[in-house]
Each structure stands twice: as structure tokens, then as C-alpha cells.
Amino acid sequence: MLDLTGKVAVVIGAASGIGRAIAISLAAQGATVDCGDIDTAGVEETAATIVAAGGTAKATTTDVRLSADVDTLLTGVAAEHGRLDIAVGTPGINIRKPLIDYTDDEYTAVTDVNLRGSFNVLRGAGRIMAVQGSGSIIVISSISSRAVEPGQVIYAGTKAALAQMVRVFGAELGPMGVRVNAIAPGPVETALTVPIRSSSAWADAYSEKVALRRWAKPAEIAGPAVFLASDAASYVNGEVLFVDGGWVDLDANFADEKAVETDTDASA
């Protein structure tokens, strides 16, 4: 059910990290993958890696913030292959600082990639797939859509908004045979998290928040993406799949335990 032979996929954000891992994994399951990213050298390397492994892939320089770039890539792929079965959008940035210290330019930088970029992928792929009557769209949310961490107000806001966009858009496109879902990763070893992982104290602190007591590899996020893209997830729509090693559940359980302790103390 995970076989993607004959499927046509676009992965925007494929130059590195989670996007690169997803592109390679989709191709390994048989999909033809068009890789898009603003990083030309990186996305060409990803496509070359896929081809060297026996897969089929192309690379296109694409700025996810520009709807014209995204639409050109998606419609071009659909025109070339006669269909678009899978569309994945992974780009994301974060500027960690208290909200009161944020500048207008920093706010725009984060929201343009995380929110506008994902909107461009959702809308562009949705328009194509709604007409053809099938398809799977996947974007990347985050545990920050639910977990609270100071210094993450804008990033968390974009990821929470994206989670709700997926739920609503899934409801809109579901009757047309199109599925829309998001993956919410926990801490992953990518370029985005280098500032945290460069400090062993910070890296260890994040590991301790995870039930599995470690960071994820990008490939561990790619597996769930393959699932959501495949027929194995044919009845999964409008969902946010948390792939966080148990971070959010552990947070919730801790909060519940503290609440019980407080109630007990109060009743005594």
C-alpha cells in the first residue's frame, strides 16, 4: 500500500533537511519527483541523488514565497505528466526572540515562508487536484502548534495557523477526492535547529523533553510523509500527524499530574 510507482510528486523545500529526505523517500517508493527549492545547488544535488539511486527526478529553482514560482512549478509538472498526485511543502524559518523585541521585517520574514509559502503550495496544488479529482497535499506544521515555548510566538503562531488551515482545506477538498494533511515534527536534526544543537546543554534539554530521549533524523519524518502520500492513508484527511517522539503527550501528562497534585492539595 506504500508503493508509489506511477505517481507524480512535487516536493518544495527539497534542497535539505526534511524536504530532501521526503523527496528521496518518495522516489524510493517509485514516485517521479520534481524537486523545488530556492537553493539551486542543494535541490540539484537532491535530484542527482535520486537519479543516482535509480529514481526519476528533476530540480527547479523555486521560491515558495512567490505564488508565481509555485504555480509555475506545479502546473508545469501537471502539464508534463498529465497529473499531479502528491504535493509537499516543507520550507520553514524561525527567529527566536520575545515578541516585544520582534521587528516588522522579522515578522514578515517568518510569516512569508511559513504561512504564505504553505498557502501557495496548498492553493496551487489544490486547484490542480480538485479538477483531476484526486491527490494528496502535505505540509509541515510543528509541535509548536500546541507546545508552549517562550521566544516562539511568531513561529508557533504560523504553525498553529497552518494546522487549522489543513483541517479546513481538507474539508473543502475532501468531496473532490483530495486529501490534505500536515506533519508536526518534534526536534529534528536540520539546518533550522543548528543554533540549538550547537549548545550541548540546549540539545540535551530538548532530548529530555522527548519520551524517546533523542532528536529525530530527517528520514524519520519522511516515513510518515510517504504514508500520507500513499494509498495506505486513503482515508486520512484534514489531520495533523504528530511525529515528535512523545513530546506533546509527555507535556500533557506532566500537566495532568500537576493538576491532580494541585486538586489534592486544595481538597486537603
pTM for the model? 0.90
For the question of residue 235 being annotated catalytic, the response is no
* Nearest-angstrom CA–CA distance, 263 and 268: 9
> What are the beta bridge partners of residue 136?
86, 179
> What are the beta bridge partners of residue 48?
none
Please tell me the predicted confidence (pLDDT) of residue 263: 41
Instruction: Give the model's confidence band at 259: pLDDT under 50 very low, under 70 low, under 90 confident, else very high.
Output: very low
Instruction: Give the model's confidence band at 249: pLDDT under 50 very low, under 70 low, under 90 confident, else very high.
Output: confident
> What are the beta bridge partners of residue 61?
37
What would the grid cell of residue 8 be?
507524480
Out of 102, 107, 155, 235, pick the active-site residue. Answer: 155
Instruction: Give the model's confidence band at 250: pLDDT under 50 very low, under 70 low, under 90 confident, else very high.
Output: confident
What would the grid cell of residue 248 be?
506533546
pLDDT score of 262 more than 70:
no
Determine the topology of domain 8-267 in CATH: Rossmann fold (3.40.50)
* Contacts by residues 96-102 (CB-CB < 8 Å, ≥ 24 positions apart): 96/151, 96/152, 96/155, 96/195, 97/151, 98/150, 98/151, 98/153, 99/153, 99/154, 102/153, 102/154
- The lowest-confidence range among 75-79, 123-127, 163-167, 207-211 is 207-211
> What are the beta bridge partners of residue 230?
none
Instruction: Give the model's confidence band at 260: pLDDT under 50 very low, under 70 low, under 90 confident, else very high.
Output: very low
Mean pLDDT value of segment 161-181: 98
**AA letter at 81:** H
Please tell me the predicted confidence (pLDDT) of residue 267: 32
Q: Are 42 and 16 in contact (CB under 8 A)?
A: yes
DSSP label at residue 215: P
Give the pLDDT confidence of 64-123 residue by residue, as tens digits: 999 999 999 999 999 999 999 999 999 999 999 999 999 999 999 999 999 999 999 999
